[in-house]
Each structure stands twice: as structure tokens, then as C-alpha cells.
């Protein structure tokens, strides 16, 4: 194990990467911060942090509405960022990139525009048993509004979807397949291609929740040929309060706006309003301008990394962390999928995950404990919650060793 680790260290200079993230030098309870909660939100490199100061110092103005110099500068920077997102996920056009508040709003936008206008009683929306609440509740709401029916693809004890059951569930009444690319609670990488093939055979649209995928591997929406792809900036080393909805331009042009107000209009009279073109039709009001610009900076940062090296390094963290936790007899893994991102969900027999998380925090180690906004997953595994260690490319083997030592301490203190 150590030989593999040393080889990976030679390939990937993690200490140089860590120097880009000022928060990683923080001390917590007198201990160096070990941040293993990247599935909830990632830390930010200095260049992303600096972009906020630069915007407010030199560019602050509203966009799309002014002819003065600052407004033009802000508009240009915002639209350049949109183009960077387009290139990052390989969309055809910047018109297919809608800025939102986050993944959750992106899904709600599709549910309340496409869903409310096209779903009829008896139509079916298909999701999976491992979905985040953000990809469950909006569809439940639109089912109540339209009379549509929600169907769920089950998973097995390894935390992998049962494709034989998916083939039975995705049928002629299926209008939308909404599925997460990667499970936030388990780390499972879902077989998106096979699921999409089933949906396309019956003419259903496809929405992919990529919130946990985009931080770890490259996404090409044209190669996927999905209808919608959604994700958040804050999980990919960018700011909070910024999300992306990718949608095929033809579909976005046909569905109605989500909200009314400034910038999504062409003309307004008391008798009638005509709407703007995409993407602006879905961006009512003053947006999170500085956040939109910052996601472009985050993309630049990610593009400057060697993607293959990052993948190898993160996989090494996953392998090492899994083996290290296996050495603790009482550890029970929740989700053992063969294809995973660097997320490990586990419990310690006889101990509540919250108690373990509390002790780990006292040692400076940040893990996530609870249901991870995926209560049906916890119900399936019959646990109140799990301890989730989610790694990023700035984490280290030494940090994993610190977590293992802290778990041993927690066992002594709590048993």
C-alpha cells in the first residue's frame, strides 16, 4: 500500500496544490484541519477568493442593462464565464447554459416549467432509490400538481442500481428520467449510459444531477446526449449560491419562463409581456454576478490541473482510505459499489455516527454525519445515518491516517 502511495506522491504534488487553498492551514481545537466534507462543499483556491475582491474593487455594476463602462466590463466578464461553463461541459452553445442558485433550483426550474406544462395524469417520472432530496421533492411536487406518478428504480445492498428492475420500470408512460450521476451518500457512479438508452427507447427526456460528478471527472453533455444536466459551483471549488442548468436549446426555447421580472423580458405592457431569448428567459432579476464570474475562475483553476493525475491521486485516496478503515474490526461500510468517486460512507458498530463525528471534530477532522439529504438511502440500509468521508485532490494520506487514529480514540471514549 505504501509503495503505491509513494508512486502517486511523485506524480501529483499535493503540497503545491494545498498551498493554493488558504483554509487548509487552519487549526481546529489546536489541531491541523483535516477537511473530509468535500461532498457537502469544497474549499476554494485563493484565485477564486481573489476574484470577489477584484470584482467589487474594479468592476462592480449591474449587467445587461447599462451602456456605461463598468456595466459593459461586468457583463463581458459574466458572459465569458458562461462561455467557460459551456466549454467545460462541452455544450453546443452558451445559450444552453442557465445560471441558477444551485443544483436544487436547477431541478426545480425544470420541474416547474417543463413538468407543469407537459405532464398529464398517469404520466410517469422515474428516479432512483439513491437520489438526493433535491431530485425527489421537486418531482413529488409536480406529480401532485399534474397527476403524474413517481416511479423509483431500486438498488441492492452494494448501493448499485438494479438494472433489470430499471428495464421494467422505464416504459411507454415514462416522460422523464431524473437520475444522479454520482450518489452523494454512497459515492456510487451510476451506469448513466445504460439508463439513458432505456429512456431514449421510450422517448423520455433525461435530466442528470451532476453535482457530485463534476468535481471528480470530466463531463461531456453532447456525448451523453442528455436533455438536462445540473450542478453547483460550490462543490467544484467555486462559490456558493451559483448553479448551472444545461438544457438543449430547442427544449429551453419551447418551455415557459420560471420567474418573471427584469432581464427575462423583451417588452412589457399592462396588456402583455413578451419574453427574452434563452438563456436570459430563465434569469429574472439581478443575478449573483460575482459568483457567476467566480465559477469561471474555478473552471480555469481546474483546467490548469492534469486531469489524469487528479483521477489517479483521488482513486489512490479512496483505495487507501478503504483499506485503512477495513483494518478497524467494527467498521461497517454503507455502499460497496465497484465504481465510486472518493467517498466512503461507514458506521462504527455500537456507536452513533453523530457521536463519532463529534469526537473527530475535537481532533480537527471534519466529516459529515447524518442522512446526507438522502433519507430513503438510510431507510434502505436501516441506519439513522452514516459517517461520510469525502476526499478531494488536496487531501493527503497523512490526513487519512489522522482520521483512523481519531476513530480509535472515539472507540475508547464512547464504548
Residues tagged active-site: 373
Check: CB of residue 389 under 8 Å from CB of residue 367.
Answer: yes
Q: Is 129 left (phi over 0), alpha (psi -120 to 50) or beta?
A: alpha
- Per-residue cell: 14: 499535493
- Per-residue cell: 176: 422523464
Q: How many residues does the chain have?
A: 415
Nearest to 87 by CA among 295, 334, 392: 295
- Per-residue cell: 218: 470530466
Determine the Cα–Cα distance for residues 203 and 195; give it in Å rounded to an integer: 13
- Per-residue cell: 190: 451510476
Residue with grid cell 455594476, as numbered in its chain: 61
Determine the Cα–Cα distance for residues 188 and 218; give it in Å rounded to an integer: 16
Q: With both helix axes pointing from N to C terminus, report the angle between 397-414 and 307-326 in degrees, rounded to the nearest 10.
A: 30
Determine the Cα–Cα distance for residues 276 and 150; give it in Å rounded to an integer: 33
Amino acid at each position: 500500500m505504501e509503495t503505491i502511495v509513494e508512486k502517486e506522491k511523485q506524480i501529483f504534488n499535493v503540497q503545491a496544490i494545498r498551498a493554493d487553498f488558504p483554509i487548509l492551514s487552519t487549526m481546529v481545537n489546536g489541531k491541523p484541519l483535516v477537511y473530509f466534507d468535500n461532498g457537502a462543499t469544497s474549499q476554494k483556491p485563493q484565485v477564486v477568493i481573489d476574484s470577489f475582491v477584484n470584482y467589487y474593487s474594479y468592476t462592480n455594476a449591474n449587467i445587461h442593462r447599462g451602456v456605461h463602462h463598468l456595466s459593459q466590463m461586468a457583463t463581458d466578464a459574466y458572459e465569458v464565464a458562461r462561455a467557460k461553463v459551456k466549454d467545460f461541459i462541452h455544450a453546443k452553445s452558451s445559450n444552453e447554459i442557465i445560471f441558477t442558485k444551485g443544483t436544487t433550483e436547477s431541478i426545480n426550474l425544470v420541474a416547474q416549467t417543463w413538468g407543469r406544462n407537459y405532464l398529464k395524469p398517469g404520466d410517469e417520472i422515474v428516479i432512483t432509490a439513491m437520489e438526493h432530496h433535491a431530485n425527489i421533492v421537486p418531482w413529488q411536487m409536480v406529480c401532485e400538481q399534474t397527476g403524474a406518478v413517481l416511479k423509483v428504480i431500486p438498488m441492492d445492498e452494494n448501493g448499485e442500481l438494479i438494472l433489470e428492475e430499471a428495464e421494467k420500470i422505464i416504459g411507454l408512460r415514462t416522460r422523464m428520467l431524473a437520475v444522479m450521476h454520482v450518489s452523494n451518500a454512497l459515492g456510487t457512479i451510476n451506469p448513466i449510459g445504460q439508463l439513458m438508452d432505456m429512456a431514449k427507447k421510450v422517448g423520455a427526456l433525461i435530466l442528470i444531477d451532476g453535482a457530485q460528478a463534476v468535481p471528480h471527472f470530466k463531463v461531456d453533455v453532447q456525448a451523453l446526449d442528455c436533455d438536462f444536466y445540473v450542478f453547483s459551483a460550490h462543490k467544484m471549488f467555486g462559490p456558493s449560491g451559483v448553479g448551472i442548468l444545461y438544457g438543449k436549446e430547442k427544449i429551453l426555447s419551447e418551455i415557459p419562463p420560471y420567474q418573471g421580472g427584469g432581464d427575462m423580458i423583451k417588452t412589457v405592457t399592462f396588456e402583455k409581456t413578451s419574453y427574452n431569448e434563452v438563456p436570459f428567459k430563465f434569469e429574472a432579476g439581478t443575478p449573483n454576478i460575482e459568483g457567476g464570474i467566480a465559477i469561471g475562475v474555478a473552471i480555469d483553476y481546474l483546467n490548469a490541473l492534469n486531469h489524469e493525475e487528479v483521477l489517479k491521486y483521488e482513486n489512490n485516496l479512496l483505495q487507501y482510505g478503504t483499506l485503512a478503515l477495513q483494518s478497524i474490526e467494527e467498521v461497517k461500510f454503507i455502499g460497496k459499489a465497484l465504481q465510486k468517486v472518493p467517498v466512503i460512507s461507514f458506521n462504527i458498530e455500537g456507536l452513533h455516527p453523530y457521536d463519532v463525528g463529534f469526537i473527530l471534530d475535537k481532533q480537527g477532522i471534519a466529516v459529515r454525519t447524518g442522512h446526507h439529504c438522502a433519507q430513503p438511502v438510510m431507510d434502505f440500509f436501516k441506519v439513522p445515518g452514516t459517517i461520510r468521508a469525502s476526499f478531494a485532490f488536496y487531501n493527503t494520506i497523512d490526513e487519512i491516517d489522522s482520521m483512523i487514529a481519531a476513530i480509535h480514540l472515539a472507540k475508547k471514549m464512547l464504548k
